[in-house]
Structure 1
Amino acid sequence: MSDIVIRSFVPGDEEGIFGVILPIQQEEFGVAITAADQPDLASIPDFYQSARGGFWVAEKDGAIVGTISLKDIGHDEAALRKMFVAAEVRGREFGVAARLLDALFVHAADAGLKTILLGTTAKFLAAHRFYEKNGFSEIPADDLPESFPRMAVDTKFYRRAV
């Protein structure tokens, strides 16, 4: 676990980020999505690192192996997005997902946010268990604020107090 570093996104990380995210979306889960379909990842500083948001990467041996982001959506609420961990570093042995989520929680608390919301697909069963173990509760889509950046593929939604 000690050879994994969690740090904020810096320009130049984009290729590594797509290298983690796209294979998981396309190959593991069969979601027909491309880099062009995700313009938020082409402008991470403006989209995520503005207001009280943020974007973090997990790095192992100089390669990005995980991502997580927080989008400030106003009213002391933020959306957790783009949480992906490469298959070779998943699980408790590495703790990448937990460490990424911890970095996000610390930032959210320090920034004075009150609520974190997220959307995911029905296919991401391990993600559902992970979020539930980390204090998120499933909510109906109708409970989402209007400002929540809902993705077309999202069918399950969660909320957690900071």
Structure 2
Amino acid sequence: MAAPDLRPGRDTDADGFIALIRACWAEYPGCILDLDGEVPELRALASYFHDQGGMLWAAESDGRIIGMVGTRPLNDDDAAWEICRMYVDGAARGIGLAAGLLRTAEDHARAAGAQRLVLWTDTRFTRAHGFYEKQGYVRQGSIRILDDISNSLEFRYAKPARGLVVEALDAAAAASAERRLAGLLVACVAEDASLEFLPPLPRDRALAFWKQTSVAVATGSRVLLVAWRDGIMAGSVTLDLATAPNQPHVAAIQKLLVDPATRRAGIGRALMRRAEQAARGHGRSILNLDTRAGSAAEALYRAESWQELGRIPGFEVDAARRACDTVFFWKPL
């Protein structure tokens, strides 16, 4: 297969678009493309997107359409743009084409002023879910029911489009973020962060930790905060609310993660400040945490006015298995 050419879509691409969508839908039982009955816009899709203020792209190789994506502003939210009609031919997967298509659509939406990116995907399209989650999208809102021949149900995914944004995730969003957060945890442990794990951290173990976190979010015993920087999920922190009965006013800060590739951009500070806000919202007035002495995290906590309680010599070991002191902090809210 020749290297794909990514270009603006044209109405004359209709046959290629229809064939691509039909082939992708055929991978999932029960998905039926009723062209003229339900999606007649596919016969002139470039004009359809243009009329809605959006844009459409095609990826072509050897004269055949092997990928497509579109984006358009959402009528009910001036700050949000929808990513839609995202399809890649089965033979063209795994070469980065999907990521390139999505990045092109996202960049266009940002340039047009999008503050949030939204997409809908059929609940049966499990490969697509994994791809979008890898790109920092999380489940958000209710499942959409379509009155179509395929009896479609769709998940809504979303993420901030620009700037540094920190948001609390509900149980569904937390579950959809597990794969991306597992990657972050593995990367941070590889950098010898003080996170109770030692490198190399197996990905399945990191994933198991986040699955436990999702359960805790669902039960209300933990708050999960995630940071995006220009649409990339770049950090997280958890707030543990499962304190003793005689400590209903206390919460613990745990697992502050910042992607090593995006450090020194204010992400850790933004996460910590948002965690303090969340603690106040849950009626907590005292926070505590611990970290390895001499770490970058220790410097951040001191800069954010956390007070040292004390330290235990040799309480943990680093990646080289050398004994290190652990510093304990607290902060009144």
TM-score range, shorter chain: 0.7 to 0.9
**Deviation readout 1:12-47 (Å, 9 max, x if unpaired):** 11011111111211x211302222221232232342
Partner of 1:88: 91
Work out whether 1:28 is the aligned partner of 2:27: yes
Partner of 2:72: 71
**Equivalent residues of 1:7, 1:57 under 8 A apart:** yes
Give the CA RMSD over aligned residues. 2.1
Q: Percent identity?
A: 26
Larger displacement relative to structure 2 (59-68 or 29-38): 29-38
* Helix, strand or coil at the partner of 2:51: coil
Q: Distance in 1 between matches of 2:111 and 2:103?
A: 12
**Equivalent residues of 2:80, 2:117 under 8 A apart:** yes
Partner of 2:104: 103
Partner of 1:118: 119
Quickly say closer, same or farther: Cα 1:102–1:23, change in 2 above 3 A: same
Residues matched between the structures, number: 153
Q: Distance in 2 between matches of 1:115 and 1:22?
A: 29
Q: Distance in 2 between matches of 1:62 and 1:43?
A: 19
User: Counterpart of 2:80 in structure 1: which amino acid?
Assistant: E
Quickly say closer, same or farther: Cα 1:48–1:28, change in 2 above 3 A: same
1 or 2 for the larger relative contact order (CA 8 Å, sep ≥6)? 1
Partner of 2:12: 12
Larger displacement relative to structure 2 (126-135 or 67-76): 67-76
User: Counterpart of 2:32 in structure 1: which amino acid?
Assistant: A
Q: Distance in 2 between matches of 1:88 and 1:45?
A: 24
User: Counterpart of 1:22 in structure 2: which amino acid?
Assistant: R
Partner of 2:49: 48
> Normalization by structure 2: what TM-score?
0.43
Q: Which has the larger radius of gyration?
A: 2
Partner of 2:154: 155
Quickly say closer, same or farther: Cα 1:63–1:49, change in 2 above 3 A: same
Q: Distance in 2 between matches of 1:160 and 1:154?
A: 20
**Deviation readout 1:75-100 (Å, 9 max, x if unpaired):** 12122111111111111xx2110110
User: Counterpart of 1:10 in structure 2: which amino acid?
Assistant: R
Partner of 2:134: 133
Q: Distance in 1 between matches of 2:146 and 2:67?
A: 20
* Helix, strand or coil at the partner of 2:11: coil
Structure 1 residues not aligned, in runs of 5+: 145-149
More strand by percentage: 2
**Deviation readout 1:36-70 (Å, 9 max, x if unpaired):** 22123223234212354111111112211011111
> Normalization by structure 1: what TM-score?
0.84
Q: Distance in 2 between matches of 1:135 and 1:63?
A: 30
**Deviation readout 1:115-151 (Å, 9 max, x if unpaired):** 1111111211111111011111111228x9xxxxx74
* Helix, strand or coil at the partner of 2:118: strand
Partner of 2:171: none
Q: Distance in 2 between matches of 1:135 and 1:111?
A: 20
**Equivalent residues of 1:52, 1:111 under 8 A apart:** no
Partner of 2:181: none
Q: Distance in 2 between matches of 1:65 and 1:102?
A: 17
